[in-house]
Structure 1
């Protein structure tokens, strides 16, 4: 470890200790989500189960609640409920990553953990350099940097990052998010026999391929996985114009379903589908655990004009990761569902069947700040059913338009804003409320809404309205234990 690396780690620890009390006193601090101990969190990185332990790394700026030279923060767990905050995995200490250890992935090989990440460099004249780098660990906690293993190939700008690595057949593959010299988003493919020497295999997805027209100026965080008989490419394109109900956030995250030919280095796919219909979801990454589940984490945030107006910033932190979600591909649709482990947080179960007459009802045992709601829509008359969450967000099902709408107030302007998805019919609504977050799963995860919201800290009210009969189950949720 270099002297500069040691100094950066010491500085980060000093800042964390200095503001620990300020962070913990925030009433909007979440209870069952992973957050930064201080500063700004963004992309999940290096998701892996290594020697029986779950590892979640994340992009982290400990020094301010803004984007800057990123570290890799690190949490571990054996059950996804009890977590250990580990030492910093990567610090931006070397010439090839001095302006940020950007996003990447982890693999296990021959008893060692390998982290692949993008080293970001910005020269004094504003020129950007990018290097795909490797660090190796025997124990999954302490990492030795190897340095760059892949330079920028021809045909791309220096916006070339976020390596996701996996083994298939007799070789390793890597996909990278990229911008071509024509300033179009793309996914680049590489392969290797030994993890150190990489050979270019071409562009497998992007503007002008597989029937796509111009589709954004940069694609970030690609992740190509085999799931239930399909090869699914998750990707986060930047620069898509809003179109009707779609692409309403500044940046999008979604997937293509298709077939990957590992011999021909080709990927044929269908249309792009957004992964999440809410306000705050970006840069998802997946991994497979030792039970065979494909698990996804996303960044529960967004880099937009409202970011610096979030009220948690006054408490020296901003953003969080989503709950972990299990993925399945069924009937042409990617389903996301909460992990079974989350049931271990439940306590104080309440059940009720409500006959709604159109006016709002506030069933007294149903409210709370950190709760799970399972709602079955048994009958619906009049076409609309609404859930009002702590007087700060509304979920509206309009059966006449086959729409579900999530509304909240913008933290910068105070204006009401909404996100909408189309759904043929709605029977089940699964809601997770944390102190300042919402994750809503419709029809078993066919559609998902993720959002941060900031109600009055003492408001616990949940209201239902419409002409309907609904069955509700509610649990209070304990928080994660983080040591």
Structure 2
């Protein structure tokens, strides 16, 4: 541990102690989502399970609720429900990462955990430099930096980051998000026999390939993995323009289904599909756990999208991560997202009702709507219906138009804003509602809407109203982190 590293760790510890009481007073502090102890959280990093322990690292700026020189925060869990906040994994303390230990991934090799991440550096004039760096740990808690293992190739700007690493057929692969010098977004690929010796293999996908033209000025947080015999690329392109119901966040997240050629290192794929139809979802990452599941966790936020208006800022914290979601690929090539089964351990106080609604509003009894799960099925409706959550969020099913709409109050002025998706038939809805967030899984996870919201603390209502005759079954649970407590 260097002197700079030790000093930074001490400053963070003091910052947590100084603001711990204020942070805990916030009514919008979440019950079952991962948050920073203080300061700003964004991208999930290094998702992995090792020896029965799940590790979630995350981008962390502990000294303010804005962006800056990022640390790697760290949570661990044995059940994906109850989490322990560990000591800092990485600090921006060396010449190759002094302005930020940016996003990356974790792998296991020879009984050790390795982190690969982007080191961000600014010179005296503010010009950016970027390095791909390596750190190693014997126990998954304490990490020793090994320094730079890959540098910026020719033809790219310093927007070159977020390594995701995996091993296939005895060879290591690393994909990164990149921007070419003509300001186009790309996926680039490196290979290696050892984690400290990488060879650049070129552009694998992006602008100018697979029929993509003008598809964003930067691709962030790529993740290329095999799922149900196909190669899936999840990525967050910046600079897409809205198209109908699509691409209405400041930056987007989505996926391609295709094939990675292990000889030419080219990734061929089909159309881009959004991962989440809501307001707040970005920089997602996946991993395979020890039972073989592909699990995704995302950042419940979007860069440059109204962060300054979050009311949690006055309590010295901002942002959280999504719940863990298991991924599957259906026969039509659609990525399905389902809450991991472990979350059922949080369920307490179950209620079940069947409602017959005729152009009326039904207030739904939920034991604690600030930490709740709601499941709606057995839906029979002529025109559709809507759910209103705590007075500031509405989820609307319009059967005639074949459309779903999530509406919420803007944080800064309480004007309405919406996100939409097409749907042929609504079979079920699955809500996870926390103190300041909603995650809605539609038709078993074929569509997902994720959003932060900040209702009046006194408003704890959940209601359903019909546009005509509607019948449905509704089950609710109060959620607690430790079942039965």
What band does the TM-score fall into relative to the shorter chain? over 0.9
Partners of 1:306 and 1:410 within 8 A in 2 = no
The separation in 2 between residues aligned to 1:112 and 1:60, in whole angstroms, is: 24
- Deviation, 1:309, is 0.9
Find out whether 1:301 has 2:301 as its counterpart. yes
DSSP-derived class of the 1:11 partner: helix
1:286 corresponding residue in structure 2: 286
Equivalent position of 2:443 in the other structure: 443
User: CA offset at residue 363 of structure 1?
Assistant: 2.9
Partner of 1:254: 254
CA distance in 1, matches of 2:405, 2:15: 40
Please tell me whether residue 39 in structure 1 is matched to residue 36 in structure 2.
no
Give the equivalent residue in structure 2 for 1:343. Answer: 344
What does residue 374 of structure 1 align with? 375
On the 8 A contact 1:174/1:189 being kept in 2, the answer is yes
User: 2:124 and 2:418 mapped to 1: Cα distance?
Assistant: 42
Separation in 2 of the partners of 1:480 and 1:104?
A: 30
**What is the CA–CA distance in structure 1 between the aligned matches of 2:69 and 2:379, rounded to whole Å?**
51
Change (3 A) 1:156 1:365: closer
Determine the C-alpha separation between the residues in 1 that align with 2:159 and 2:36.
Answer: 26
Matching of residues 197-346 of structure 1 within 5 Å: 197-330=197-330, 331-346=332-347
Alpha-carbon deviation of 1:384?
2.0
Structure 1 segments of 4+ aligned residues over 2 angstroms from their partners: 363-367
Post-superposition offset of 1:458: 2.3
CA distance in 2, matches of 1:140, 1:201: 30
Does the 8 A contact of 2:379 with 2:428 survive in 1? no
CA distance in 2, matches of 1:250, 1:258: 26
Q: Distance in 1 between matches of 2:305 and 2:181?
A: 27
Matches within 5 A, 1:384-463: 384-463=384-463
Q: Report the TM-score, using the length of structure 2 for normalisation.
A: 0.98
TM-score (norm 1): 0.98
Q: Deviations over 1:136-190 (max 9, x none)?
A: 0000000000011000001110000000000001210000000001100000000
- Structure 1 residue ranges without an equivalent (≥5): none
Q: Aligned residue pairs: how many?
A: 480
Question: Counterpart of 2:404 in 1: which secondary structure?
Answer: strand
Change (3 A) 1:384 1:374: same
- Take 2:93 and 2:412, find their aligned partners in 1: how far apart are those partners? 35
SS in 1 for 2:292: coil
- Deviation of 1:366 after TM superposition, in Å, equals 6.6
Cα distance per residue 1:319-374 (max 9 Å; x no partner) = 00000000000021000000000000000000000000111111334762110000
Alignment partner of 1:5 is 2:5: yes
In structure 1, how many angstroms separate the alpha carbons of the residues matched to 2:297 and 2:163? 16
Shift of 1:243: 1.3
2:160 aligned with 1:170, yes or no? no
1:469 lines up with 2:468 in the alignment = no
The separation in 2 between residues aligned to 1:348 and 1:364, in whole angstroms, is 11
Shift of 1:377: 4.4
SS in 1 for 2:277: coil
Change (3 A) 1:446 1:305: closer
Find the aligned partners of 1:434 and 1:19 in 2 and give their Cα distance: 22
Aligned residue for 2:22, secondary structure, equals: helix
Q: 1:351-370 counterparts in 2 under 5 A?
A: 351-365=352-366, 368-370=369-371
CA positional deviation for 1:303: 2.0
Cα deviation code 1:256-305 (max 9, x no counterpart): 00011112212110010000000000000000000000000000012224
Name the residue aligned to 2:181: 181
Structure 1 residues 214-260: Cα deviation after superposition (integer angstroms, max 9, x where no partner): 10000000000100111000000001111111000000000000011
Q: Which residue of 1 aligns with 2:157?
A: 157
> Residues 367-399 of structure 1, C-alpha deviation per residue, up to 9 Å, x if partnerless?
621100000142101x12100011110000011
Query: 1:103 & 1:357 partners in 2: Cα distance?
Result: 51
Change (3 A) 1:10 1:311: same
Give distance in 2, aligned partners of 1:173 and 1:65.
34
2:183 counterpart SS class: coil
Alignment of 1:100-115 (within 5 A): 100-115=100-115
Q: Secondary structure at the match of 2:257?
A: strand
- Structure 1 position 455, deviation (Å): 0.7
Gaps of 5+ in 2: none
**In 2, Cα distance between the equivalents of 1:14 and 1:472?**
47
Give 1:480 shift. Answer: 6.4
The corresponding residue for 2:481 is 479
Deviation at 1:202, TM superposition (A): 1.1
Q: Which moved more, 1:347-356 or 1:47-56?
A: 47-56
| Stretch moving more, 246-255 or 302-311 | 302-311
C-alpha distance in 2 between matches for 1:447 and 1:115: 32
Query: What is the Cα-based RMSD across aligned positions, in Å?
Result: 1.1
Structure 1 residue 401, shift from structure 2 partner = 1.1
- For 2:414 and 2:458, the matched residues in 1 are separated by 20
